[in-house]
Structure 1
Amino acid sequence: MNYPILISVIVLVALLIVFLIRRNRKDKKEFEKEVIDSELPPKEDKENI
């Protein structure tokens, strides 16, 4: 077996998994913020009441 190539492939796969998990968490936070902002009613101006 060619261990250096095998080890490098395993390291690259691990780095890809870590990258995807971090990006997924970031995207999830942004999505939740957008949903919360879209569900809130618009603020009314006191001058127009």
Structure 2
Amino acid sequence: MQINTLEIVIVIVLALALVIWLVIRNRKDEDAFKKDELEDSEFLEPQDPDKE
């Protein structure tokens, strides 16, 4: 059984591309979650304008 180095390189590049894509997507989702969490906190802890 002979392993072609070109095939190995292609698989490694595709795996790296998948990992990079997942990391970027996760960061976007995390930022959206934090933004949504901040907006939800306004509903959970209403601020009284007279106290300021």
Please give the root-mean-square deviation of Cα atoms over the aligned residues, in Å.
1.6
Q: TM-score, normalised by structure 2?
A: 0.75
Identity, in percent, stands at: 35
Structure 1 distance, partners of 2:29, 2:8, is: 32
Q: Which portions of structure 1, spanning 4 or more consecutive aligned residues, are displaced by more than 6 angstroms?
A: none
Aligned residues: 43
TM-aligned CA deviation for residue 35 of structure 1: 0.6
1:34 counterpart (27, 33, 36): 36
Structure 1 residue runs of 5 or longer lacking an equivalent are: 45-49
Q: TM-score, normalised by structure 1?
A: 0.80
